[in-house]
């Protein structure tokens, strides 16, 4: 059996610091996306945004980006 890396999942950080994403959303990665920047690029096509808050990247799905 051969083990292969499955890549990286990027999930939604919710509309604000105190609230989790109501949909438990995650970016649907393409088969070739292996790194977080590649997966974020996949999400951008589906309306995801990335914001820097307090020195961290926050990923927001289309539902949460309109609430923050």
- Residue 68 confidence (pLDDT) above 60: no
Neighbours of 11 (CB within 10 A): 13
Question: Per residue in 14-35, pLDDT tens?
Answer: 988 888 898 888 887 777 888 8
Q: Give the integer Cα–Cα distance in Å for 19 and 22.
A: 8
Which residues face 53 on adjacent strands? 56
Comparing 8-12, 28-32, 39-43, 46-50, the range with the smallest average pLDDT is 28-32
Q: Which two tokens stand for residue 58?
A: 């926050």
Comparing 3-7, 11-15, 26-30, 47-51, the range with the smallest average pLDDT is 3-7
More confident residue, 1 or 56: 56
Q: Which two tokens stand for residue 1?
A: 């059996």
**Which residues touch 43 (CB under 8 Å, ≥6 apart)?**
10, 27, 28, 59, 61
More confident residue, 6 or 64: 64
Q: Which two tokens stand for residue 61?
A: 């799905």
Domain residue spans in the chain? 8-68
């Amino acid at each position: 059996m051969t083990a292969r890396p499955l890549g990286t999942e990027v999930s939604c950080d919710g509309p604000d610091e105190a609230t989790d994403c109501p949909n438990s959303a995650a970016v649907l990665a393409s088969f070739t996306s292996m790194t977080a920047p590649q997966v974020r690029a996949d999400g951008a096509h589906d309306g995801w945004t990335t914001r820097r808050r307090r020195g961290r990247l926050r990923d927001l799905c289309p539902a949460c980006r309109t609430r923050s």
